[in-house]
Amino acid sequence: MELPPRGRGDELLKPGELAAVRLRLRNIAPKHDLTTVIACAFDHRTRMLPFIYADTRMIPAGVRAIGSAMVDAGFTKTRIVLQQWNRNFRPSQMRLDGRIPDIFMISSMQLHTAPCKAMIQDACRIDPTRRPLIIVGGPKVMYEPWDVFSAKPENPWAADVAVTGEEYVLMNLLEVVLSIRAGGESIRAAFVLARDSGLLDGIPGLVYARGERDGVSDELVDTGIQRLVGDLDELADPVLGYRLLEPPNRGGGLASLAIPANRVGRYGPVGSLVLTLGCKFVCPYCPIPAYNQRQYRTKSGDRIAEEIGRLYSEYHIRFFFGADDNFFNDKERTLDIAGTLARKVDAGSRPHCKIRLGTEATIHDTLLMKEHLPLIRRAGVWGLWLGVEDMSGSLVKKGQSTDKTLEAFALLRAGGIFPVPMMMHHDAQPLYTRNDQSGLLNQIGLLRKAGALYMQVMMLTPSPGSKLYVETYTSGLAYQSVDGIPVQPHVVDGNHVVASRAASPWKTQFNILAAYLYFYNPLRFLAALFCPKSNIPLSDVETSPISPSRNKLRRRILRKASAYLADAAVQVFGMWGLANTIRRTFVWGLHLMRGKIKRHTCVPASKIPMRGVDGAPASHALPGTPTPREAPSRD
């Protein structure tokens, strides 16, 4: 079930609305002297291929965006804590500027739900008179905001509010709460007042609780689907967020200072960057088009060039990953971005000459961009993650036949861009086939031959907010438990088989391991040493605009050697990643083989009644959610 659409023409904020709220907050911020901690939930059990490096070395854009928005709005006493680096962090121990913060925020993906809930629980241990306002946001609550309010009287805990939207919703919420905050009053008390007087109901993108018995809320009020910011140039400067990072440490509390700017690139060498958001395709297992209200939103080329320049100069970050859903979605807008970045390179701008940018796109759109690929490469795009899924098209058709995929690979490589296939394994796909190319290994073999250095295979998994989501549960496809082990969020990661009709799902689980082993292994490592796939045009190009005359030869040899050895290095990395993947998923395969599988019959939904404002249906309620009228009396 997808998020419901807003009314036609009412999907976006009015131009300038986000910029205006930022300005208004900046005017009142000095009066309030707020301290804020924003934590990124991360479950370390999810560390495996294909994301094992990016998951901890790329500083997530969500928390950073929220941190940037806070600083930009004048709330400079803000700290970002990544559980990726600070796994022992305990909200109950945090102190910022010598005090318990006024606001504690959490950002979480669906698969990191367990640590997200643990942090809320821990924050709820703080004395209620001093407890910060707890706000939860990010991809988890975009679709399942109700899950951050406990429905168990024996274990009561809850966020104060879930933000189902982006920066604007948070800024809007802060503005309303601060507008009624009396001097010396806690921000949480002001929030409660705003909530109880109905002031939050006019802010689409919130879910908050009302009433309480035995520690469990009586109902959740859903203020509806957010309006999106259309022009991403209105967002706060991402450079601000990088100054707020808590240094990696083993303690439960916070260090006195954030990571100094000159060390940020050391801890997080890959910078994620919002360039565009949205996608025109409608794959039934993907929530992205509906989340974006079928809108495509971009930053301008000038803005992106400026951000990259500053991120490079201030933090020495030169590897970037675009948070794009489909970078080539709109030719004109892509060319604006690429053209601007390429012009900077032509003019000899050092940061722009040095960067390497990776992002996601579809095969279909890559082919439409074929004559522009040299420009895209000049702009710094160096790797493209392509949604190949299953090339035979038996899973989904979005213009990715075998021929087209191979054509796109050849064009990209000829243009100096590394193609990275993202494959989706599913019940109907055999591991290997003799007479055609539909088998998983057949396809991987073809893609390797076509020049893939790195690849990912994921299992089709229920994704909240997608068209297929509810049906996956009601049809009994999704597992509830395997061999008596409940299916918890951290295994709903695309690496574990958690939804399948296969008679022997363990085979599917081991197929994924076999696919990786086929791609990353000692034999291929040796082959990569003698016949590397990484030697593509421009792979050894000089990226420095002004070559130092000294050491010119040495630099040239180094560049050539690293281009030559890159393929073998990726193989070594892949084998190490595979060892971790086997360690984490092999036992699951055994449970699938030996144990009984219990299936869901209905979709997990809120146990607490939900409603919209003015009695409207709640936008984020899934089928089976009680409404306040239906709620059984707890007397």
Contact 50, 495 (CB under 8 A): no
What residue type is 173 in one-letter code?
L
On whether the CB atoms of residues 357 and 320 are closer than 8 A, the answer is yes
Specify which residues 361 forms β-bridges with: 386
Single residue of 102, 147, 167, 246 touching ligand B12 by CB under 6 A: 167
The reply to whether 286 sits near ligand SF4 by the rule CB under 6 A is yes
Measured in degrees and rounded to the nearest 5, phi and psi for residue 572 equal -65, -45
Check binding of 364 to ligand SF4 (CB under 6 A). Answer: no
610 binds ligand SF4 (CB under 6 A): no
Shortest distance in whole angstroms from residue 319 CB to ligand B12: 12
51 binds ligand B12 (CB under 6 A): yes
Q: Where are the alpha helices (DSSP H) in 369-503?
A: 373-378, 402-414, 440-449, 469-474
Structure tokens at 509: 């689980």
Q: What is the DSSP string of 24-66?
A: HHHHHHHHH---EEEEE---GGG--TTSTTHHHHEE-HHHHHH
Select from ligand B12, ligand SF4, none the partner in contact with residue 289, using the beta carbon and a kind-dependent cut-off of 5 to 8 Å.
ligand SF4
- 524 contacts which partner out of ligand SF4, ligand B12, none, CB within 5 to 8 A by kind? none
Tell me how far the alpha carbon of residue 212 is from its chain's centroid.
Answer: 33
Q: In 225-363, where do the E strands start and end?
A: 270-273, 276-277, 297-298, 319-322, 356-361
Which entry of ligand SF4, ligand B12, none binds 283, CB below 5 to 8 A by partner kind? Answer: ligand SF4
Strand partners, 209: 220
CA distances from 565 to 154, 530, 558 (A): 58, 9, 10
Return the residue of 157, 168, 191, 281 that touches ligand SF4, per CB under 6 A: 281
Among 36, 78, 86, 107, binds ligand B12 (CB under 6 A): 107
Least Å from the CB of residue 183 to ligand B12: 26
Site string for ligand B12, 260-279 (x = CB under 6 A): ------------x-x--x--
Structure tokens at 191: 């929030």
Nearer of residues 288 and 565 to ligand B12, judged by Cβ: 288
Residue 541 CB: number of other CB atoms within 10 A?
Answer: 11
Map residue 476 onto helix, strand or coil: coil
Instruction: Give the SS3 label for residue 418.
Output: strand
Out of ligand B12, ligand SF4, none, what residue 347 binds, judged by CB under 5 to 8 A for its kind, is none
Tell me: does residue 574 bind ligand SF4 (CB under 6 A).
Answer: no
User: Does the protein bind ligand B12 through residue 325 (CB under 6 A)?
Assistant: yes
Q: Of residues 366-425, which lie at the interface with ligand SF4 (CB under 6 A)?
A: 387, 398
Which of 288, 446, 565, 597 touches ligand B12 by CB under 6 A? 288
Choosing from 362, 400, 463, 495, the residue that interacts with ligand SF4 (CB under 6 A) is 362
Which position among 12, 20, 118, 288 is part of the footprint of ligand SF4 (CB under 6 A)? 288
Output the six-digit token pair for 173. Answer: 């919420």
Q: Assess 298 for contact with ligand SF4 (CB under 6 A).
A: no
Phi/psi for 336 (5° steps) reads: -65, -45
Q: Which residue number is nearest to ligand B12 in terms of Cβ?
A: 137
State the binding partner of 259 from ligand SF4, ligand B12, none, CB within 5 to 8 A by kind.
none
Nearest distance from C-beta of residue 271 to ligand B12, angstroms: 9
143 binds ligand B12 (CB under 6 A): yes
For 105-163, give the DSSP string: EEE--GGGHHHHHHHHHHHTTS-TTTPPEEEEESHHHHH-GGGGB---TTS--B-SEEE
Task: Identify which of residues 497 and 528 has a Cβ nearer to ligand B12 in the complex.
Answer: 497
Alpha carbon distances (Å) from 41 to 83, 85, 252, 386? 6, 11, 14, 27
Radius of gyration of the chain (CA): 25
CA–centroid distance for 153 within its chain:
32
- Residues 91 and 251: beta-carbon distance below 8 Å: no
Tracing tokens 């082959």 back to the chain, one arrives at 527
SS (H, E, C) 331-400: HHHHHHHHHHHHHHHHCCCHHHHHCEEEEEECHHHHHHCHHHHHHHHHCCEEEEEEEEECCCCCCCCCCC
277 binds ligand SF4 (CB under 6 A): no
Minimum distance from residue 596 beta carbon to ligand B12 (Å):
26
Q: Using the rule CB under 6 A, which residue among 279, 417, 440, 512 binds ligand SF4?
A: 279
Looking at 133, 254, 259, 283, which residue binds ligand SF4 (CB under 6 A)? 283
Which of 17, 55, 218, 427 is the binder for ligand B12 (CB under 6 A)?
55
Q: Which is nearer to ligand B12, 342 or 455 (CB)?
A: 455
183-191, 215-223, 321-329, 523-531 -> range binding ligand B12 (CB under 6 A): 321-329
Residue 445 CB coordination number (10 Å): 15
Strands 381-389 and 418-425: parallel
Stretch that binds ligand SF4, among 283-291, 315-323, 377-385, 446-454 (CB under 6 A): 283-291
> 115 vs 287, which CB is nearer to ligand SF4?
287
First to last CA, the chain: 34
Beta strand 161-163 with 270-273 is unpaired
- State the number of binding residues for ligand B12 (CB under 6 A): 41
Chosen from ligand SF4, ligand B12, none, partner binding at 135 (C-beta under 5 to 8 Å by type) = ligand B12
Span from 14-22, 108-116, 439-447, 610-618 in contact with ligand B12 (CB under 6 A): 108-116
Residues forming contacts to ligand SF4 in the complex (CB under 6 A) are 279, 281-283, 286, 288-289, 325-326, 362, 387, 398
Residue ranges that bind ligand B12, judged by CB under 6 A:
46, 51, 54-55, 58, 60-62, 65-66, 105, 107, 109-111, 135-140, 142-143, 163, 166-167, 170, 272, 274, 277, 286-288, 321, 323, 325, 458, 463-464, 493-494
